[in-house]
Amino acid sequence: MLHMDRGTDVEQKIEAFDRPPWKESVAMAERDRQRVLTDFPRRAWRDLPLERYALGLDQADRANRPFCWLLEYGTEAIGSIRGGSAAKHIIYRHHSGEWRLPKPLRAASPQEAWARVRGEFVEAFDAVEAGDFRRLDDLDTLTYGQALVTKTLATYFPEHFLPIFSAGHVRHFTEVLGGGPYKTYGGVRTWQANRQLFDLVRERPMWADWHPHEVMRFLYQNFNPRPQQRAVWKIAPGERGRLWEECRAQRFICVGWDEVGDLGQYESDAELKTALDVQWPGSKGGNLRLARQLLAFRDLDDGDVIVANRGKSEVLALGTVNGGYAYDEIRAEYRHTVRVDWDESYAQTFAAPENAWQQTFAKVPEKLLRRIQAGRTPAPSAVATGEPVVVQQLPTHVQQAIQLLDRKGQIILHGPPGTGKTRLALSIALALTGRAAAIEAPAAERAAAVAALLNAPAAALGVPPVTLVTFHPSYGYEDFVEGFKPAPAAKDPGLNLLLQDGIFPRICEAAAQEPGRTFLLLIDEINRGDLARIFGELITILEIDKRGMPVRLPISGKQLAAPPNVRLIATMNTADRSIGHLDAAIRRRFGFIDVPPDLDAVDGSVGPLDLATFLSVLNARLVAEFGPDHRIGHACLLKDDQPLGTEEEIATVFYHEIVPQIEDYAAGRAEPLRTVLGSLASLESGQVARMSPADLTRTLANEFTASDEVLDG
């Protein structure tokens, strides 16, 4: 049964929805659908050859595109399944010539595998035609392409399915329409969840004469499930913006690296990095970062923001992504494309260059985006959308951490030193206490907000909403749970022991008094304490499904329960101790978030030294020599949250922070130092060469470099 408030909200929005503007969109969706039915009639499926189905063969013949291309790239008016790799198509041909298949089919030849996949598609069509939708769940191979299969069924059978193909989106809309909590659909295939949503829609008389495409548009317009925080990227349209006129006129953004082929064929950043290493072997240190940037480009979603630039100082336009990635083989160059609606009213020239903008890709921080928005001309151009981009205050990584925190109840932020683990923990706390605007504020403003957070007035029972504690080897059960501690006595000057509550019971008692408020316990350096001893029997009641279940404390005999509004956020330095050393019971009860070095945070240059490239190559060498837990964090290259700006600052950090850390990892051995620092370290003595700041910066630029052809934008 619908919750009254949500149900009323839906009804009101249905009444207010302006249907006429969507008539052309409905007509376009129907034209796309008829194209599929014409090119791939149902009767042709029983003998459909693999070449007519799969991606990765001859894609240049636009008049004879395969089925998978048509559903992903040629029929977006029906609904989108773009994003991610081509693995969603179940079977496809990789750029290398290898056929990629789901694990159960890998022992078969491509043609044998295709015969099975094709047979299950035919069986699915027959099942839907017979109204036997449960038979679909017996088709195991199709489960490897649920979005594709759901779109296929909605295309051939629009009377039974809605044009919504993302599992998360379908389930979100199901909750909106009163279909029950998300967790009840955990084992449901996307097509079955779509059918459940379809039934909920048909139960509403107000939707009786609506086209399924109108329902889809209504749901996305009023209850958009996409993250509120949109990605914002600076992307250069060719060297010095030479492709801008083409991008502006045809409403897209494009990038190079055509040699690696369609980005949709790569299932991971590691796989794409390998392909980049083959094409540009001299820049392996920077190729992992480039691979991640290219995959982020591929997976840009509608509503994400693009800043097109020329050089380091000129903004050409601000754009909103309106259509997914495509690899256009017809183009002579810069074949990786994403559709964008451009607004040239944001065009402007900065007074000083943005050093981070020397590369093709760069993330745009909120404060810079606000500066660009402030420089918008009063009269938007003819192609402008007319509406400024709205910047959400909650960064994506904070939002994702909060989602995991809600699901598990407690999380551990782990990574090497200097990667911002404590900063992220405090950002989560700022967000959960109504101070989200301070997360990406200037350093002084953020510091003031953090101080106010940690010194906030006490809530219930004298306990503040946010408590910070640091674990260490002498921290114990009596500090965290309960124990006898020395206490002053008025009459007896000797030692007096008093049974006292530790920090966690006090937080739990306060949280029980104020169930509408979240109480946070921030634990810094959690791995430095003996966790099994510190938590004791409380490890049982930390699980989110055991919140409220009491345990009896062995010393006092009191009952203690962890209320559902208590959250634990811990940080862990993996250079000291890896996750594998944690007690298994601890690991099961915490969610873990890796906090790696953030190269985007140090985008910038000092003289010839590109800071992000230096850190990327340095960490690649450290990983190869010592392992991933021994990387250098980006924080050492920052000052007041900004990349270092002078040669003197670089020299100070290099000689007094970076080198000592690497020497510690090398344990006095010259060979590892030479491997990591190259010509800067003597192979005989292990001594690191001393030189002037200017000479050091030039030497670092020469020693830690990626090829200009890969990273130049």
| 3-state helix/strand/coil string of 119-185 | HHHHHHHHHHHCCCHHHHHHCHHHHHHHHHHHHHHHHHCCCCCCCCCCHHHHHHHHHHCCCCCHHHH
Residues 6+ apart with CB under 8 A from 689: 679, 680, 681, 682, 699
Give the pLDDT mean for 120-148: 93
Give the pLDDT mean for 452-475: 91
Residue 663's domain comprises: 600-711
* 391 inside domain: no
pLDDT (tens digit per residue) in 616-637:
889 989 999 998 889 999 999 9
* 73 inside domain: yes
The pLDDT of residue 416 is above 80: yes
Domain identity same for 278 and 309: yes
For residues 513-526, one letter each, b for 16 or more C-beta atoms within 10 angstroms of the residue's C-beta and e for the rest, the string is: ebeeebbbbbbbbb
Cα(47)–Cα(58) distance, integer angstroms: 20
**Number of neighbouring beta carbons within 10 Å of residue 594:** 12
Cα(193)–Cα(147) distance, integer angstroms: 11
Domain identity same for 264 and 200: no
Last residue in a domain, options 222, 257, 286? 222
**Number of neighbouring beta carbons within 10 Å of residue 245:** 11
Judged on CB neighbours under 10 Å (0-12, 13-18, 19+), 316 is buried
* Count: domains in the chain: 4
* 46 inside domain: yes
Please give the span between the terminal C-alpha atoms of the chain, in angstroms, as a whole number: 55
CB–CB of 143/103 below 8 Å?
A: no
Domain identity same for 240 and 215: no
Domain identity same for 197 and 138: yes
Q: How many residues does the chain have?
A: 713
Domain identity same for 623 and 589: no
The pLDDT of residue 256 is above 70: yes
Domain identity same for 54 and 179: yes
pLDDT (tens digit per residue) in 675-689:
999 989 988 888 999
CATH of the domain at 487: 3.40.50.300
* 385 inside domain: no
Note the pLDDT of residue 150.
96
Highest mean pLDDT among 264-273, 383-392, 489-498: 264-273
pLDDT (tens digit per residue) in 101-113:
988 888 889 999 9
Domain identity same for 423 and 517: yes
Reduce the DSSP state of residue 442 to 3 states and report it. Answer: coil
Task: Name which of 47-56, 397-406, 442-451, 580-589 the model is least confident about.
Answer: 580-589
Tokens of 287: 């190729």
The pLDDT of residue 432 is above 90: yes
Give the strand pairing for 566-573 and 410-415: parallel
Domain identity same for 550 and 662: no
Cα(314)–Cα(137) distance, integer angstroms: 54
Domain identity same for 241 and 209: no
Domain identity same for 462 and 580: yes
CB–CB of 305/318 below 8 Å?
A: yes
Last residue in a domain, options 571, 594, 617? 594
Note the pLDDT of residue 216.
93
> How confident is residue 128, by pLDDT bands cut at 50, 70 and 90?
very high
Cα(589)–Cα(568) distance, integer angstroms: 11
How much of the chain exceeds pLDDT 70, in percent? 91
Note the pLDDT of residue 388.
47
Per the prediction, the chain carries an average pLDDT of 87
* 93 inside domain: yes
* 262 inside domain: yes
Domain identity same for 42 and 72: yes
Note the pLDDT of residue 381.
45
Last residue in a domain, options 543, 572, 594? 594
Note the pLDDT of residue 708.
35
Identify which has the larger pLDDT, 576 or 54: 54
pLDDT (tens digit per residue) in 273-328:
989 988 888 665 568 888 989 999 999 988 889 999 998 899 999 999 988 899 98
* 282 inside domain: yes
Domain identity same for 62 and 110: yes
* 424 inside domain: yes
pLDDT (tens digit per residue) in 158-200:
999 999 999 889 988 998 898 865 444 446 889 999 999 999 9
The pLDDT of residue 710 is above 50: no
Query: HSE of 79 in the Cβ direction (CA atoms, 13 Å)?
Result: 26
pLDDT (tens digit per residue) in 387-413:
545 445 577 789 889 989 999 999 999
pLDDT (tens digit per residue) in 342-389:
999 999 999 888 877 878 888 887 778 888 988 888 644 444 444 545
Residues 6+ apart with CB under 8 A from 638: 601, 602, 644
Give the pLDDT mean for 487-508: 81
The pLDDT of residue 481 is above 60: yes
Cα(340)–Cα(703) distance, integer angstroms: 39
> How confident is residue 69, by pLDDT bands cut at 50, 70 and 90?
very high
Helix axes 190-202 and 167-176, enclosed angle (nearest 10)? 30
For residues 188-214, one letter each, b for 16 or more C-beta atoms within 10 angstroms of the residue's C-beta and e for the rest, the string is: bbbbbbbbbbbebbeeeeebeebbbbb
